[in-house]
Amino acid sequence: MRSSNPALAMLCTVALAMACTSTLAQNSPQDFVSPHNAARTAVGVVPVSWDSTVAAYAQNYANQRAADCQLVHSGGPYGENIFSGFGRDYTAADAIKYWVSEKQYYNHNSNKCAPNKVCGHYTQVVWRSSTAIGCGRVRCNSGGIFITCNYKPPGNIEGQSPY
């Protein structure tokens, strides 16, 4: 259906462009790197940098998850955090905030998670020897958002402390 009102058509085009730009602007490499580095700085760990090879791997895997948006790990050569959300347009910042929120369950002195709690996403974010990341994001066929970040070299090595 075409609009006979050129002003309305232009307004819709601008609104759509702004929505797309806003979403892309919230999911740039820097939008993934900055919150990782904020969490790392908080515990005295060197920053990570963006790695285009790792990012290509992550985006390829995200694309594979578009069909179902399920939280299934890739099983690849990198460390990996995954996130899936429904009901809104989740961004890089949302996923990383979720992973970093596990900090409250991590006990650095014992190097363990609190009983019946998960903290491995957080420890991967701040893993001292992981120095490069690449992330991918996709809108799933179901309308959800799937986000993955991969870490090189991988962290969460049994018996080792992240920092």
Spatial distance between the Cα atoms of 133 and 143, rounded to a whole number of angstroms: 26
Q: What is the pLDDT of residues 76-107, one digit of tens each?
A: 999 999 999 999 999 999 999 999 999 999 99
Per-residue pLDDT at 21: 35
Read off the CATH number of the domain in which 120 is found.
3.40.33.10
pLDDT of residue 51: 98
Residue 134 lies in a domain: yes
pLDDT number for residue 24: 54
Q: Give the model's pLDDT for residue 16.
A: 33
Asked if omega into 47 is within 30° of 0 (cis), the reply is no
Choose among 77, 58, 79: nearest CA to 130.
79
Domain assignment present for 54? yes
Residue listed under structure tokens 């819709």: 12
Q: Which amino acid would we find at residue 154?
A: P
Range of the domain at 101: 29-70+79-152
Pick out the chain residues at pLDDT < 50: 1-23
pLDDT in tens, 45-59: 999 999 999 999 999
pLDDT for 14: 32
For residues 92 and 22, is the Cβ–Cβ distance under 8 A?
Answer: no
Q: Which residues contact 33 (CB under 8 A, 6 or more apart)?
A: 47, 48, 49, 50, 133
Whether residue 96 is contained in a domain is answered as: yes
Q: How many helices (H) and strands (E) does the chain have?
A: 5, 6
In the chain, the number of structural domains is: 1
